[in-house]
Amino acid sequence: MLRLLLLCISLTVSAAACAEATPEKMALAKELVRLLQFDQVQADYLTECAKPATSSSAAAIAYRQHPEAFGGLSPKSAYWSEVETVYTHYREKTCEYATSEGIANFFAEKFAERASVDDLRASIAFNSSPVGQRILAIEVSANRDFQKYANELVLKATEEAEYQYQKEIAVLVQKFRTAPR
């Protein structure tokens, strides 16, 4: 029983040591996040987020989904290039929900709360090593490819979900028109 009590006390102290984000742990966590290039990963995401994922414009896709939202303008309109510019600004704005610095700070806080000083130091040592640097370079490069792939997946999923949504809403609208309540 005494061994169990000592084990529980040890685990509690150990967990508390990890949970407390001391200035030293925060500094180590910020260094680790810098090495892991969380800011660059987020910057890559934000850049890719604002781009349309297909050769057709995002505005044209939005038009196909909701032509009524364009007030009579269409891809055949002489004003369509201006619509695309406005829509591009809209996409850019929606992708600015978080800054690279803000995301990096978020992860630094989480590392400081959840990792021990020893684990942070060991991770910094590894990621500072030549092998760690090579792995990080591969990860950042793979992330850029992933962001493009993810953008395509999101656009496709959005189009499919929108199509299904429109079908289901049309059924409900018809039901409402038949029996309003």
In a domain, 94, yes or no: yes
Whole-angstrom distance between the N-terminal and C-terminal Cα of the chain? Answer: 67
Mean pLDDT value of segment 133-141 = 92
In a domain, 9, yes or no: no
Residue-wise pLDDT tens digits, 139-160? 989 988 988 888 788 778 877 8
User: Number of structural domains, the chain?
Assistant: 1
How far, in Å, CA of 97 to CA of 65, rounded? 24
Residue-wise pLDDT tens digits, 86-106? 888 887 788 777 788 888 999
In a domain, 3, yes or no: no
In a domain, 147, yes or no: yes
Exposure on the CB side of residue 63, measured as CA atoms within 13 A: 17
User: How many CB atoms sit inside 10 A of residue 33's CB?
Assistant: 21
Please tell me which residue, 174 or 109, carries the higher pLDDT value: 109
Alpha helices in the chain (DSSP H): 2-19, 23-36, 38-49, 58-65, 80-94, 100-114, 117-128, 130-178
161 contacts 58 by C-beta, under 8 angstroms: no
Torsion angle defined by CA atoms of residues 7, 11, 17 and 20, in that order, rounded to the nearest 10 degrees? -140
- 98-125: burial string, b at 16+ Cβ within 10 Å, e else: eebeebbbebbbebbeebeeeebeebbe
Chain-wide mean pLDDT for the chain? 81
pLDDT-derived band at 8 (thresholds 50, 70, 90) equals: very low
Host domain of residue 85: 20-155
pTM: 0.61
In a domain, 163, yes or no: no
How far, in Å, CA of 19 to CA of 13, rounded? 10
In a domain, 30, yes or no: yes
| Distance from the Cα of residue 176 to its chain's centroid | 38
Residue 121: DSSP 8-state: H
Residue-wise pLDDT tens digits, 63-75? 888 888 888 899 9
In a domain, 180, yes or no: no
In a domain, 165, yes or no: no
